[in-house]
Homo-oligomer: A and B are copies of this chain.
Amino acid sequence: MSHNSFGHLFRFTSWGESHGPAIGCVVDGCPPRIALGENDIQPWLDRRRPGQSRFTTQRQEPDQVRILSGVFEGRTTGTPIALTIENVDQRSRDYGNIADRYRPGHADLAYEMKYGIRDPRGGGRSSARETAVRVAAGAVARLVLGPDVSLRGALVQIGPHAIDRARWDWDEVGRNPFFCPDPAIVPLWEDYLDMVRKSGSSAGAIIELQAEGVPAGLGAPIYAKLDADIAAALMGINAVKAVEIGDGFAAALSSGEQNADTMHMADGRIIFDANHAGGILGGISTGQPIVARFAVKPTSSILTPVRSVTRSGEDATVSTHGRHDPCVGIRAVPVGEAMLACVLADHLLRDRAQNPR
């Protein structure tokens, strides 16, 4: 049991604070003889990297990953893979004024009530900066899953503005600063987020993940269900408040017949007529695409003053002048993908242990 480890057989242990010298993780349990270099990880980090558009924080971090162990002559050895990322642009001065007060929506108060101590510089351990190591671990997980698994994510809603799913085009996701699959909504989102940012506010978002090619049989009853582990993985991302699989909340409104993913035979194979279940039944993958969505609340750090209290017990206001994402949900897309990749890689190994094929 560890508070800072994720997964069981494919497992990573994360460390580091926003304003310390570095952040990193140790990936344990990776199968041996997988080709792995820093070049396999860096592109995923680059997707998450801040400062790439005016819609994300202007903190400049090269986020260069370094592999310190577990790889010999370009291949994994089965021993732990230590990954580190230096913190370069940590301007602690930005945060001096928040050390003495609790920012609403942040972990400040909760940490202090739990531990009696808190590193206030940039949110310390609670900074979204920690998600960089998740992306790095997720890059390794993708290699464990192999090329047959196609795992990708998209932003499907910012604030009240949802995409038109009829226009969904995966190729568009890489062509705009939002990971948006609907090109027609991009200008609207740009205008909306410009307005949000200029007014000193922030916006929430909804992300959708899909994994195709996942083998049937991953997951396990009763307390190792694949959907339960995905729910934990996504809910554990900073600022996430909701998770759904397949039809999710909408399933509650449908009838048994509507919700049934009926099947028929075709060419000797079982064909599903729908995928309301999001690729998981009884906690176990069915071979259909795995579909999950999660909601990210609006960034809690905003310029608009909100009322709060100080550590010494006085009323106060908090107005955050630091460099922040007006919509932290955008950069949550690669983070969500990484977490899903880690869950799937873990369950691939877990299934293999009990059910050699």
A188 on interface, CB distance cutoff 8 Å: no
Given A265-B309, A355-B114 in contact, is the A251-B297 Cβ separation under 8 Å?
yes
Residues A209-251 near B (CB distance < 8 A): 216-225, 227-236, 238, 241-249, 251
Name the residue on B nearest A16 (C-beta).
B69
One of A29-37, A40-48, A50-58, A167-175 contacting the partner:
A29-37
A64 on interface, CB distance cutoff 8 Å: no
Q: Verify A295–B28 contact, CB threshold 8 A.
A: no
Q: Verify A228–B235 contact, CB threshold 8 A.
A: yes
Residues of B with C-beta under 8 A to A314? 265
Report the Cα distance A205→B259, complex, angstroms. Answer: 13
Residues of B with C-beta under 8 A to A307? 262-264, 273
Residues A278-323 near B (CB distance < 8 A): 278, 280-287, 295-302, 304, 306-309, 313-315
CB of A142, distance to nearest CB on chain B (Å): 17
Report the Cα distance A249→B298, complex, angstroms. Answer: 11
A186 on interface, CB distance cutoff 8 Å: no
A149 on interface, CB distance cutoff 8 Å: no
Q: Verify B14–A222 contact, CB threshold 8 A.
A: yes
A140 on interface, CB distance cutoff 8 Å: no
Q: Verify A252–B159 contact, CB threshold 8 A.
A: yes
Name the residue on B nearest A14 (C-beta).
B222
Q: Verify B157–A3 contact, CB threshold 8 A.
A: no
Q: Contact partner of A16 among B68, B72, B247, B300, CB < 8 A?
A: B68
Report the Cα distance A262→B306, complex, angstroms. Answer: 7
Q: Verify A79–B221 contact, CB threshold 8 A.
A: yes
Report the Cα distance A254→B31, complex, angstroms. Answer: 37
Given A79-B4, A82-B24, A107-B283 in contact, is the A236-B225 Cβ separation under 8 Å?
yes
Residues of B with C-beta under 8 A to A62? none
Residues of B with C-beta under 8 A to A3? 28-29, 80, 220-224, 350
Report the Cα distance A352→B69, complex, angstroms. Answer: 23
Q: Verify B107–A284 contact, CB threshold 8 A.
A: yes
Report the Cα distance A232→B82, complex, angstroms. Answer: 25
Report the Cα distance A354→B114, complex, angstroms. Answer: 10
A125 on interface, CB distance cutoff 8 Å: yes
A13 on interface, CB distance cutoff 8 Å: yes
Q: Verify B15–A68 contact, CB threshold 8 A.
A: yes
A9 on interface, CB distance cutoff 8 Å: yes
Residues A56-73 near B (CB distance < 8 A): 68-70, 72
- Listed A/B pairs (16) with beta-carbon separation below 8 Å: A2-B224, A4-B221, A20-B68, A29-B353, A75-B117, A77-B124, A78-B355, A104-B263, A114-B219, A157-B252, A222-B236, A227-B235, A251-B295, A262-B307, A270-B309, A349-B354
Given contacts A110-B217, A227-B235, A242-B248, 20 further A-B contacts (CB under 8 A): A1-B224, A2-B28, A3-B28, A4-B222, A4-B223, A15-B80, A16-B80, A22-B68, A32-B115, A32-B354, A78-B114, A104-B262, A110-B284, A113-B287, A115-B355, A159-B253, A203-B256, A204-B254, A230-B235, A260-B302
